[in-house]
């Protein structure tokens, strides 16, 4: 038997989900995937889930009973949790919050009321649902913000003085995404500027669907910045490589290769 907030697993492929709400009368169950941080709740037939539990196709792997964690985190984390809770509390008890169209309307109205971004509220909602629908689910996961040993980050460099969002920490996959975008769009000449290549990468790799199925790019702090994109371009690709790829070998040889004494002697004839 599954209960509200229980985490379960599909035995066939290991996919995990959390049971958010059940309405036995309407035979409805709302579930959120734990495989993607940009997932939204999905509607299932409650009878289907029960049948799969009974057959062993679904197994419970974690109880939904809340576990107090706030005492083990920093004051800064608790402050951010409470701010997120204040933003979210009026939304979470509304009956339409799981329904995509209604959720979109509710989130937009709340964002307008608070003067905040809809992206912030969607992020809060996903954290709340994925984390077990408790206030502590909104505690920032600072312990998961470390950098991969293989990521191309080095030092953070000069810290911005007026930044209002967390600095995104590049992981190995982010570096690969940026390299692929540089090769596919910028060096190939498919787009004319580095900014265009960066924007295209965000639209392909760093976006999510809202409640209406509209595509939005992740907010700053949740995706690589233009500066990080430029840093990888300049670090991993030499000026010669960039010119040869974008303008061709002939153009490079004519205008950019190192000159020798023979070149000048030929020119002065």
Nearest CA among 201, 205, 154, 207 for reference residue 182? 201
What 3-state DSSP class applies to 227?
A: helix
* pLDDT value at 150 more than 50: no
pLDDT band, very low/low/confident/very high, at 228 (cuts 50, 70, 90): very high
- 175, two tokens: 């570096």
Q: How confident is the model at residue 155 (pLDDT cuts 50, 70, 90)?
A: very low
Neighbours of 168 (CB within 10 A): 18
CATH number of this structure's domain 7-62, picked from the four choices 1.10.3470, 2.30.30, 3.40.50, 1.20.1050: 2.30.30
- Per domain, the residue ranges of the chain are 7-62, 70-144, 172-254
Instruction: Output the six-digit token pair for 15.
Output: 């996919």
Query: Which of the pair, 218 or 155, is modelled with greater confidence?
Result: 218
Say if residue 157's pLDDT is above 50: no
Taking the C-alpha atoms of residue 171 and residue 173, their distance in angstroms, rounded to an integer, is: 5
Q: What is the mean pLDDT of residues 2-27?
A: 92
Taking residues 110-136, what's their average pLDDT? 89
Buried b (16+ CB within 10 A) or exposed e, 235-264: eebeeeebbbbeeeeeebeeeeeeeeeeee
Whether residue 137 contacts residue 127, with contact meaning beta carbons closer than 8 Å, is answered with yes
Q: Is the pTM of this model over 0.85?
A: no
- C-alpha closest to that of 141 among 217, 225, 73: 73
Residue 20: φ, ψ to 5°: -90, -40
Given the structure tokens 């309407």, which residue do they identify? Answer: 26
Length of the chain equals 269
C-alpha to C-alpha distance for 139 and 81, rounded to whole angstroms: 5
With 60 as the cut, is the pLDDT of residue 151 above it?
Answer: no
Local confidence band at 166 (pLDDT 50, 70, 90 cut-offs):
low
């Amino acid at each position: 038997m599954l209960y509200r907030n229980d985490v379960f697993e599909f035995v066939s492929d290991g996919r995990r989900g959390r049971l958010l709400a059940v309405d036995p009368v309407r035979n409805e169950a709302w579930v959120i995937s734990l495989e993607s941080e940009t997932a939204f709740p999905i509607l299932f037939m409650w009878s289907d889930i029960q049948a799969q539990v009974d057959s062993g196709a679904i197994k419970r792997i974690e109880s939904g009973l809340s576990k107090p964690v706030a005492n083990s985190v920093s004051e800064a984390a608790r402050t951010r949790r409470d701010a997120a809770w204040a933003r979210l509390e009026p939304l979470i008890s509304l009956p339409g919050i799981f329904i995509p169209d209604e959720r979109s309307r509710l989130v937009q109205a709340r964002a307008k009321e608070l003067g905040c971004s809809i992206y912030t509220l969607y992020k809060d909602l996903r954290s709340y649902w994925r984390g077990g629908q408790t206030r502590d689910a909104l505690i920032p996961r600072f312990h998961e913000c470390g950098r991969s040993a293989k990521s191309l980050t080095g030092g953070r460099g000069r810290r911005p003085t007026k930044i209002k969002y967390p600095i995104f920490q590049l992981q190995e996959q982010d570096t690969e995404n940026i390299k692929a975008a540089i090769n596919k769009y910028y060096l190939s000449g498919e787009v004319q500027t580095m900014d265009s290549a960066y924007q295209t990468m965000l639209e392909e790799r760093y976006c999510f669907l809202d409640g209406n199925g509209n595509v939005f790019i992740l907010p700053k702090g949740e995706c690589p910045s233009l500066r990080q994109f430029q840093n990888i371009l300049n670090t991993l690709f030499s000026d010669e490589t960039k010119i040869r790829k974008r303008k061709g070998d002939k153009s490079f040889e004519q205008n950019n290769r190192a000159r020798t004494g023979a070149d000048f002697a030929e020119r002065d004839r």
